[in-house]
Amino acid sequence: MMEEVAASLPSVRLVVGSPDRMRDLGRALAKLLRAGDLVMLTGELGAGKTTLTRGLGEGLGVRGAVTSPTFVIARVHPSLGDGPPLVHVDAYRLSGGLDEMEDLDLDVSLPESVIVVEWGEGRLEELTDDRLQIVIHRAVGDTTDEVRHVTLTGLGDRWAGTDLSALSA
């Protein structure tokens, strides 16, 4: 039993009832993040990945509104204070995988940034062992269109022992 507990990954499953609540979740999540962190968001188009990232940007206190980029696939939002910049990658439409990211030539140090990657459903690429994996599902058969099921899982040493349950408050 002890081994089972030690081996389990930090994970939390949330029901998010509206876009505003999704933003709140992003703001709360920002408090857990630090420079060098990678967050991978998976979910279909319209799941709420960008909405969550918007809250994250607000929580981190970065410049510029987080939007869905139409032509660029990555955008750097510098901190308004002394925190890390947010690098927002919208890889939803990326066909060639995250290798393409190396060609982006972002004018920022990735280890000193918080990186958020929006990714299409089922595309979980291992950019690094240490990452916060967030999967957003539209509720099937729920009573309103606005219900989303969000599962957050911390992978790697970075997240081992982290208590994600604070996010369910």
Ligand X SMILES: Nc1ncnc2c1ncn2[C@@H]1O[C@H](COP(=O)(O)OP(=O)(O)O)[C@@H](O)[C@H]1O
Interface residue with ligand X, options 9, 31, 45, 124 (CB under 6 A): 45
The DSSP element (H or E) to which 22 belongs, if any, is helix 19-30
7 versus 169: smaller Cβ distance to ligand X: 169
Name the closest residue to ligand X (Cβ). 48
- Residues in contact with ligand X, counted by CB under 6 A, come to a total of 17
**Encoding tokens for residue 99?**
């290798």
Q: Report the partner that residue 153 touches, choosing among ligand X, Mg ion, none (CB closer than 5 to 8 A by kind).
A: none
CB 160 within 8 A of CB 14: no
Under DSSP, the state recorded for 151 is E
Binding site for Mg ion (CB under 5 A): 49-50, 68, 118
Query: Does 146 sit near ligand X (CB under 6 A)?
Result: yes
Q: Report the partner that residue 24 touches, choosing among ligand X, Mg ion, none (CB closer than 5 to 8 A by kind).
A: none
CB 48 within 8 A of CB 16: yes
Q: Write down the least CB distance from residue 7 to ligand X, Å.
A: 31
CB 126 within 8 A of CB 105: no
Q: Residue 6: CB partners within 8 Å, gap ≥ 6? A: none
Q: Which residues pair with 124 in a beta bridge?
A: none
Query: Does 46 sit near ligand X (CB under 6 A)?
Result: yes
**Which residues contact ligand X by CB under 6 A?**
16-19, 22, 43, 45-51, 68, 118, 146, 148
